[in-house]
Amino acid sequence: IVWGRDAETLFYVTQDAAQRSHKVWSHLLGAPQSDDTSLFTEDDEIFYADVFKTSSGRFLGVKYTVEHWQNELLISTNRDGDVNFKLMSLPLHIVLDKQKAAHNSQWTSVFAYDPTVKVASVICFESFFVLNGRQDGLTQSWICGST
């Protein structure tokens, strides 16, 4: 459960018959639950849906994943209309500088967009990270950034 900025709206997930979180909803306090709005549904049973609030509290996330790795943020994004997502990086020093962070010209491609690949998650380790997703419908993992 995540509170909205207005302190009257909350966002939550519901589970399917297999106890998998698969649907994100918004609820207005005082309104009947039957009035709740479905915001996102993950239909693939291998994956789940979740809702989170950024640490600033200003934004909610459903589809996007941001991970801190070494001196950068790894961002799973559908920017530029890439519906199956790609992985981009943004140097941490840029993120921490409000003037520079307002412009996204510092973003670099880490895992280029491929329409046959659906990016799902990133798991970071000290010297590498693992990108999980699907390629041509099959679950895959890619080891990236190894030094």
pLDDT in tens, 27-67: 999 999 999 999 988 887 766 788 887 656 776 777 667 78
Tell me how far apart the terminal alpha carbons of the chain are, to the nearest angstrom: 39
Distance separating alpha carbons of residues 119 and 36, to the nearest angstrom = 29
Same-domain check for residues 46 and 28:
yes
Same-domain check for residues 20 and 88:
no
pLDDT at residue 79, as a whole number = 78
Q: pLDDT-derived band of residue 75, with 50, 70 and 90 as boundaries?
A: confident
Strand ranges in the chain using DSSP code E only, listed in sequence order = 2-3, 9-15, 21-28, 37-41, 52-53, 60-61, 65-69, 72-77, 86-91, 108-111, 117-124, 129-135, 138-144
State mean pLDDT over 86-111.
79
Same-domain check for residues 80 and 127:
yes
Same-domain check for residues 39 and 69:
no
Distance separating alpha carbons of residues 118 and 10, to the nearest angstrom = 29
Last residue of a domain, one of 35, 60, 85: 60
Which pair of tokens denotes residue 121? 């998650």
Instruction: Let me know the angle formed at the C-alpha of 89 by 79 and 104, rounded to the nearest 5 degrees.
Output: 55
**Those residues with Cβ within 8 angstroms of residue 19's Cβ, 6 or more apart along the chain or in another chain:** none
State how many domains the chain has: 2
Same-domain check for residues 87 and 137:
yes
Average pLDDT value for the chain: 85
Same-domain check for residues 45 and 100:
no
State mean pLDDT over 71-95.
85
Last residue of a domain, one of 45, 60, 75: 60
Q: Is the pLDDT of residue 96 over 80?
A: no
Task: Give residue for tokens 């609820």.
Answer: 27
pLDDT at residue 30, as a whole number = 96
Which pair of tokens denotes residue 32? 């009947």
Same-domain check for residues 71 and 28:
no
Same-domain check for residues 111 and 136:
yes
Task: Give residue for tokens 């890619």.
Answer: 142
* Residues across the chain: 147
Residue 25: which domain range?
Answer: 2-60
